[in-house]
Amino acid sequence: MSDAATTLQQEIAAEQRHVDRVYARLAELRQAAARAEKEGYRLARVGNFGALVERDAMVFHAARRRHALDAEHEGLVFGRLDLREGPVLHVGRLGVRDEEAQPLVIDWRAPAAAAFYQATAADPRGVVRRRMIQSSGEKVTNIEDDLLDPAAAPEGMRVVGDGALLATLAKATGRGMRDIVATIQREQDQAIRSPASGVTIVSGGPGTGKTAVALHRAAYLLYSDRSRFAGGGIMVVGPSGVFVEYIAAVLPSLGEEAATLHSLGSIVEDVTAARTDPTAVAAVKGSLRMRRVLDRAVRDAVPNGPTDLRLLYRGDLLRLGTAELDAIRARALPRGARRNEVRRAGIDGLFEALWAQAQAHKIGGLPSQIEFEDDLAERPDFRDFLRAWWPRLAPRHVLAWLADPARLRAYTSGILSGPEIALLADAFVPGDPTVADVALLDELDEMLGRPPQPARKQRDPFHVVDGVREVSTYADRQRAARAAAVRRPDDYREYAHVVVDESQDVSPMQWRMLGRRGRLASWTVVGDPAQSAWTGDPTELARARDRALGSRRRHEFTLTTNYRNSAEIFALAAEVIREVSPGITLPRAVRSTGVPPEQLTLAPADLPDATRKAAARLLDEVEGTVGVIAPVPRRDEVAAWLTELPADRLQVVTSLQAKGMEYDGVALVAPEEIRKEDGARTLYVALSRATQRLVTLSA
Ligand SMILES: Nc1ncnc2c1ncn2[C@@H]1O[C@H](COP(=O)(O)OP(=O)(O)OP(=O)(O)O)[C@@H](O)[C@H]1O
C-alpha cells in the first residue's frame, strides 16, 4: 500500500471509531425512546384521565423522536471541523450528545455548524481543517479534507483526499433528488441561513442548486424556530406534479416531514391539474385582466336559468321579465359582493319587486308585506325558481361557462384582444382544468364566496376510545407522530413560510393564488428569469409578484456555479440562451466529461426509430435515469415509441414538465418545435437537464 493509501486508511479508522460511538449512543437513545413509549402505555393502566393525557403526550414525543432517529440513520455523521481553538466538532444530520451531555455530533443547521459550510481558505473562520466523511450505512468509506489555515495546523495534522464535491457530483442521479447536506457550498449556505423573516430571493442559472437550497432552507427554518414554522406550516410550491415527485424525498431524508409540497396545479382544494396549456394560452389565462373577465362571468345569469318569473297570487298574475330579473341581480351584486354570500339580497330584491306589483294590481285582500313574503317563501314553485335563478355556484361551474363561445365573447370583449379571445376558444374543458385554470378557479372561489359548509371529517391517526384519543400499533404511532404537524385543512391559508421554486414561471394570476396562502408568511422565492416561459406582460408580472410578497424586507442571493451539467452540455445550452439574451451572466459548469452533446438531424419518418435507439443507448451509457423530453403536444406520441424500453430508469416528459428536473442522460426530441411553440428559454431549460449525456434529435 502506498503511503497516501495507508494514511487514508488510518484516518478512516480514526473516524470510524467516532462514528461507532455515535451509533452506539444512538442505539441507547432509541431504546430510551422505546422505553418512554412503553412507560406511556403503563400509565394507561393507571386509568385516570390525567394519566391518559400524559401517556398520549409521552407516546407521541417518543414516537416522533424515534422517527427522527430512524430517518437520519444513513450517513449520520458527514463532517468534522478541527478549529484553531476549542474541541474538534463533528457535523451530522442531527445532534447527538453523550451521557454527560457533551456533543458527539452537532446538527448541520446549528450555528456552530455554519463554519463547516462557510469557511474558505481566504476566510477560514477559525477552521484549520475541514473534513468530509463519506459513509455507506454505518461504515466510513472515504474522507476528503480541505486545509483552510495551514499556518495554524498543528504538527502531524494529516490532510487526505481531493474533492468530495466533485466526487459527489459524478455519482449517478436516482429517481429522486438527493439531499446535498454534506456538500453545501458557501454561497448556498448563506442563502439557506438567510433571516427567517421577510422574503429571501435566490436566483441563479440552471443547476446552481436553487431547488436544493430552497429545500434545505425549509429544513433549516424548521430547526431554527420549530414552534413557529412547524406550527404554522411551510408550503413548498413547485411547477409540476412530476417535479414535486422528484423533490419529495429530500425533506424526509433531512428528517423533516412538517412541510407540505404542492404543484401549481394542486394548490386548490379538491383540484389536481396536470395538463398544461400552450404557452400563448397560458399567458392569457395568467394575465390579471382575467379578473375582469371572471368578474363579468360571476355577475351573469346562469346558463339555462329561468328568463322570467310568473306567479299566480290570489288569482292575479305577478310577472318579472328578463330585464327586471337582470336588474334585480345586478342591484344585489354591488362591486365586491360575493354572489354565494348575497343570495339573500337577491331574494329581497324579488320580494320588493313582486310586492310593488301586487300593490299596483290592487289585489283584493292583500295581506301585510311580511305575510305576503312568507306566503311566497313557502310556495314550492317560488322555491324552485330561486334554486334555478340563484343557485349556489362552485368555481368550476362558472369556469365552464367560458367554454361557451357566446359567453366567452361577452366576458372578454373590450378586455382581451381579438387574437387573445381566439386563443381562449376551446381552451376551457369543463371538468378537466389545466394548471393555469387552477389559479382562475381560486380567483373565482374568492369572488363567489362560500356559503357556510358543514365541517369536513379529518382522517385521524388516533383511535377514539371512550372519548380518549389513543394510538395502538407501531404504524399508528409513526403516522400520528408525522401527522401531528401536517394535519391542516386543504384550503389552509395561514402558512408561516412559503417556498416558491421555479418562480420565474408563476403567472400573475398564480401569484395571487399563492399570495392568498401566504398573507402571514415569510417567503423563500427561487428562480431564474432566463428560464422563464412567460410570454405575457413583464411589468404586470412584476407587479403581481410584488403584491403577493408585500412590503416585507427582501434578502437577495445569487448562485453562480452549475453543479448539474457537464461543461460540454452547458456550452450548448448557453449558445441558445445567448441568442435571446446576449449579455446574460451564466453560471460556471464545474465538471467536464469530455463527451460533447450529440446533435442529430433526421428525416421526420426516421424520428421514432432514432429516438428509440438514442434512449436505449443512453440507458446503456449512464447508470442513473434517462429523460426523453418532447414538445408538449407530442409527449404521448413519443412515449408510445419507447414502450419496449425498460421503464424503471426512463421518464418521458414534456418540455414544460422538464422544468427543474434532472437526468443523467437526456434525449431531446424535436428541439426546433419546442423553440417555435414555447420559445428559446424553454429550449434552454430542456438543454440544461442532463448531467452526463445529451442527444438532440431534430426532424
Ligand atoms: N453543494 C452541492 N453539492 C452537491 N450537489 C449539489 C450541490 N448543489 C447542487 N447540487 C446538485 O446540482 C444539481 C442541480 O441542483 P438544483 O436542481 O437544485 O439546481 P437548480 O438551480 O434548481 O436548477 P434549475 O434551475 O436548472 O432547475 C442537483 O443534482 C443537486 O443535487
Q: How far apart are CA 678 and CA 666, in angstroms?
A: 19
Atom of ligand 1 nearest to the CA of 185: 1
| Of the candidates 1, 19, 13, 8, the residue with the CA atom closest to the CA atom of residue 143 | 8
**Probe residue for ligand 1, chosen from 211, 500, 577 as the CB with the greatest number of ligand atoms within 8 Å:** 211
The predicted structure's pLDDT at residue 466: 47
Q: Which of 192, 208, 242, 566 to mutate to test the pocket of ligand 1 (most atoms within 8 A of CB)?
A: 208
Specify the residue with its C-alpha closest to ligand 1, atom 8.
209
**According to the model, what pLDDT value does residue 455 have?**
53
Choose which residue among 187, 250, 563 to substitute to test ligand 1 binding: the one with the highest number of ligand atoms within 8 A of its C-beta: 563
Average pLDDT along the chain = 89
The alpha carbon of 214 and the centre of ligand 1 are apart by a number of angstroms equal to 10
Tens of pLDDT, residue by residue over 436-460, are 999 999 999 999 998 755 555 445 5
Which grid coordinates are listed for 85? 481553538
Location of C-alpha cell 412530476: 242
Residue with the nearest Cα to atom 23 of ligand 1?
A: 207
**What's the length of the chain?**
699
Report the pLDDT value the prediction gives residue 161, as an integer from 0 to 100.
75
204 is known to lie in a ligand binding site: yes
Residues 347-387 have pLDDT tens digits of 999 999 999 999 999 988 899 999 999 999 999 999 999 99
pLDDT higher than 80, residue 327: yes
Q: What is the pLDDT averaged over residues 518-547? A: 95
The pLDDT of 157-162, averaged and rounded, is 82
Query: Is the CB of 116 inside a 6 Å radius of any atom of ligand 1?
Result: no
Ligand 1 centroid to residue 209 C-alpha, Å: 3
Cα 150 to middle of ligand 1, angstroms:
31
Q: Which residues pair with 527 in a beta bridge?
A: 203
485 pLDDT tier (thresholds 50, 70, 90) = very low
pLDDT at 182: 87
Q: Evaluate if residue 338 carries a pLDDT over 60.
A: yes
Q: Is 210 in the pocket of ligand 1 (CB under 6 A)?
A: yes
How far, in Å, are 364, 394, 680 from residue 277 at the CA level? 62, 22, 17
In 3D space, the residue among 633, 699, 624 whose CA is nearest the CA of residue 669 turns out to be 699
Instruction: Check pLDDT > 70 for residue 276.
Output: yes
In the reported structure, the alpha carbon of residue 169 is separated from the centroid of ligand 1 by a whole-number distance in angstroms of 9
The residue extents of the domains of the chain are 2-171, 186-269+491-562, 303-392, 567-697
Position of cell 420559445? 679
Residue predicted with more confidence, 287 or 179: 287
pLDDT tens per residue, range 24-73: 998 888 888 778 767 766 655 555 656 655 655 666 566 666 666 665 56
pLDDT exceeds 50 at position 536: yes
Angle CA(607)–CA(608)–CA(609) in degrees, nearest 5? 95
Q: Which atom of ligand 1 is nearest to the CA of 528?
A: 25
Query: Which atom of ligand 1 approaches the CA of 204 most closely?
Result: 21
Whole-prediction pTM: 0.87
Q: Taking a C-beta distance cutoff of 8 angstroms, is the pair 396, 297 a contact?
A: no
Range among 131-135, 162-166, 416-420, 468-472 with highest mean pLDDT value: 416-420
Cβ 527 under 6 angstroms from ligand 1? no
Whether residue 504 has its Cβ less than 6 Å from ligand 1: no
Mean pLDDT of 423-435: 96
Highest averaged pLDDT of the listed ranges 256-260, 571-575, 591-595: 571-575
C-alpha cell at 198: 421577510
pLDDT-derived band at 197, boundaries 50, 70, 90: very high
Ligand 1 binding pocket includes 564 (Cβ within 6 Å): yes
For residue 387, the surrounding DSSP H or E stretch is helix 380-389
Residue 687 CB–ligand 1 contact under 6 Å: no
Q: Which of 251, 268, 269 is nearest to 260 (CA)?
A: 251
Classify domain 567-697 by CATH number.
3.40.50.300
Rounded (10°) angle between helices 435-448 and 289-299:
50
For the domain 186-269+491-562, what is the CATH superfamily, name and number? Answer: P-loop containing nucleotide triphosphate hydrolases (3.40.50.300)
38 in a known ligand binding site: no
Classify each residue of 276-306 as buried b or exposed e, where b means 16 or more C-beta atoms within 10 Å of its C-beta: bbebbbbbbbbbbbbbebbbebbbbeeeeeb
The DSSP H or E segment spanning 191 is helix 186-192
Q: In Å, how far from its chain's centre is CA 286? A: 18
pLDDT in tens, 204-261: 999 999 999 999 999 999 999 988 998 899 999 999 999 999 999 888 888 788 899 9
In whole angstroms, how far apart are CA 41 and each of 34, 55, 56, 60, 499? 11, 6, 9, 11, 39
**Residue 206: CB within 6 Å of ligand 1?**
yes
DSSP assignment string, 99-130: TTS-EEEEETTSGGGHHHHH--SSS-TTEEEE
For 107-124, write each residue's pLDDT tens digit: 999 999 999 999 988 899
Q: What integer is the mean pLDDT of 473-486?
A: 51
Give the separation between CA 633 and CA 505, rounded to whole angstroms.
19
Q: Is 168 in the pocket of ligand 1 (CB under 6 A)?
A: yes
Residue type, 163: G
Q: What is the dihedral of CA 225, 228, 231, 237, to 10 degrees?
A: -90
Ligand 1 binding pocket includes 178 (Cβ within 6 Å): yes
Instruction: Give the pLDDT confidence score for residue 179 in this predicted structure.
Output: 87
Residue 468 has a pLDDT of 47
Q: Is 665 one of the annotated binding-site residues?
A: no
Confidence of residue 469 (pLDDT cuts 50, 70, 90): very low
**What distance in angstroms lies between residue 399's CA and the mean position of ligand 1's atoms?**
38
Please give the ipTM for the structure prediction: 0.99
189-213 mean pLDDT: 96
Atom of ligand 1 lying closest to residue 660 CA: 27
Ligand 1 near 279 CB (within 6 A): no
Q: What percent of the chain has pLDDT over 90?
A: 74
pLDDT of res. 49: 58
Tell me the pLDDT band of 472, cut-offs 50, 70 and 90: very low
- Name 636's Cβ contacts closer than 8 Å, sequence gap at least 6: none
Q: What is the pLDDT of residues 3-28, one digit of tens each?
A: 878 889 999 999 999 999 999 998 88
Mean pLDDT, residues 418-432 taken together: 96
Does residue 489 or residue 654 have the better pLDDT?
654
Whole-number Å distance, alpha carbon 180 to ligand 1 midpoint, is 8
Do the domains 186-269+491-562 and 567-697 sit in the same CATH topology, yes or no?
A: yes
* Whole-number pLDDT of residue 481: 52
Is 349 a pocket residue for ligand 1 (Cβ < 6 Å)? Answer: no
Q: What is the DSSP string of 579-638?
A: HH-TT---PEEEE--S-PPEEEE--GGGHHHHHHHHHHHHHHH-SS-EEEEE-GGGHHHH
479 has pLDDT over 60: no
Sign of CA dihedral 474, 475, 478, 479: negative
Q: Is the pLDDT of residue 172 over 50?
A: yes
Residue 210 annotated as lining a ligand binding site: yes
- pLDDT for 625-669, tens place per residue? 999 999 999 999 999 999 999 989 999 999 999 999 999 999 999
The verdict on whether residue 211 carries a ligand-binding annotation is yes
Q: Say whether 208 counts as a known binding-site residue.
A: yes
Q: What is the CA radius of gyration of the chain?
A: 31
Q: Using CA atoms, how far apart are residues 34 and 23, in angstroms rounded to an integer?
A: 16
